[in-house]
Amino acid sequence: MARASVGKQLLGSASRGRASGRTADAPWGPTEIQRDYRTLLDRAKDSPQEVLDADGELLVIQTKGVADFQRRLQAQVAETARFLAVYNEHREVPPPEWAMQTGYPWLAAFSSDEVGEFARELVADTFDAAQRGTLEHLEGNLRAWDSTAGVYGQPDAMRTLLSLVDLDGIVEVLPPSEEQVLAAQA
């Protein structure tokens, strides 16, 4: 009989989740934090924890990485919305006439079709960033669009990139052999 009651006690404390006996999803109170702050901090590493302040305000404790990502994502969502508002208003106008009103002034280098492609990618990449929990892919694509606009802005570079390549002038370059490396080190 003693074994059954011990099992029930363990199960009961696991469902409560905290030393105070409150459920794991209930906000932490000031007294409970003083008694069990280590558990609060450990749980905040796994998921945000709500804390009910003495004045009744609900606060959240979470890792800095999560908080930073959420702030950056919020800023990106706002920037995406601002861009879409300007883009939708000027969809029929050439991009050089309105691109400076957005956070992406380099869009002036692109055609209307390319800006349409950018808009679709921007929305998809922003949603993808929210789902994945990282802005890495979105930021990489924005850098790629920006650098492409930079190339478009340099006519000499564009002519060189678009010119035909003389395949007869290409020479194969091989890495040095071990003997050549050793000879150079001597």
Could you tell me the residue ranges of all domains in the chain?
Answer: 16-62, 66-152
pLDDT tens digits, 36-61: 889 888 988 998 899 988 888 998 98
The answer to which of 31-35, 146-150, 157-161 has the lowest mean pLDDT is 157-161
Amino acid 77: pLDDT = 97
**pLDDT single digits (tens) 45-102:** 998 899 988 888 998 989 999 999 999 999 999 999 999 999 999 999 999 999 999 9
Q: What is the pLDDT of residues 136-153, one digit of tens each?
A: 999 999 999 999 999 887
Contact by Cβ (8 Å): 69, 55 = no
Contact criterion met (CB below 8 Å) for 96 and 111: no
Cα–Cα dist 129/132, whole Å = 5
Please give the Cα distance from 47 to 99 (Å, whole number). 40
pLDDT band at 6 (very low <50, low <70, confident <90, very high): very low
